[in-house]
């Protein structure tokens, strides 16, 4: 299951997340959005807890759609520490989509990890 995020919960669930977040901007009328959803779930199961997957209904969350300048749906954003690290849109087929997901996985596994405050304290006390 994918966590649905709204303008109200976006900051907490995405921008303040301790792990990278793959945000799927979609809409109920978008046929391609329905097609890629099972592929995203498969990708999430492969990644486990290393990445969070959320969806945003672009129609119901106009401010987010405007903030992230959506031009097409679906649009995927990889966000880490509140910063958009990768933007994916305009898929031309299944292979193209899988290549894009592979690129996302490579990009977030090469990013420096952040520590929450407890981990920082533990690290500081062990030095």
Q: Per-residue DSSP letters for 12-29?
A: IIIIT-SS-EEEEEE-TT
Q: How far apart are the first and last CA of the chain?
A: 40
Catalytic, out of 2, 4, 27, 30? 30
Known catalytic membership, residue 33:
yes
Do 88 and 67 meet the contact criterion of CB atoms below 8 Å apart? no
Catalytic, out of 33, 54, 78, 101? 33
Helices and strands per DSSP (H, E), number in the chain: 5, 5
User: What is the rounded CA–CA span in Å between residue 20 and residue 50?
Assistant: 7
Main-chain dihedrals φ then ψ at residue 115, nearest 5 degrees:
-115, 145
For residue 106, the tally of other CB atoms under 10 A from its CB is 10
Known catalytic membership, residue 47:
no
Please give the positions annotated as active site.
Answer: 30, 33
């Amino acid at each position: 299951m994918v966590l649905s995020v709204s303008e109200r919960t976006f900051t907490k669930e995405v921008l303040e997340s301790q792990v990278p977040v793959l945000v799927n901007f979609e809409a109920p009328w978008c046929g391609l959005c329905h097609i890629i959803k099972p592929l995203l779930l498969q990708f999430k199961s492969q990644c486990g807890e290393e990445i969070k997957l959320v969806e945003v209904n672009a129609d119901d969350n106009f401010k987010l759609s405007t903030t992230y300048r959506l031009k097409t749906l679906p649009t995927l954003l990889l966000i880490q520490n509140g910063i958009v690290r990768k933007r994916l849109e305009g898929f031309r087929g299944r292979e193209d989509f899988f290549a894009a997901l592979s690129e996302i996985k490579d990009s977030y596994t090469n990013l420096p990890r952040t520590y929450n405050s407890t981990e920082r304290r533990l690290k500081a006390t062990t030095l």
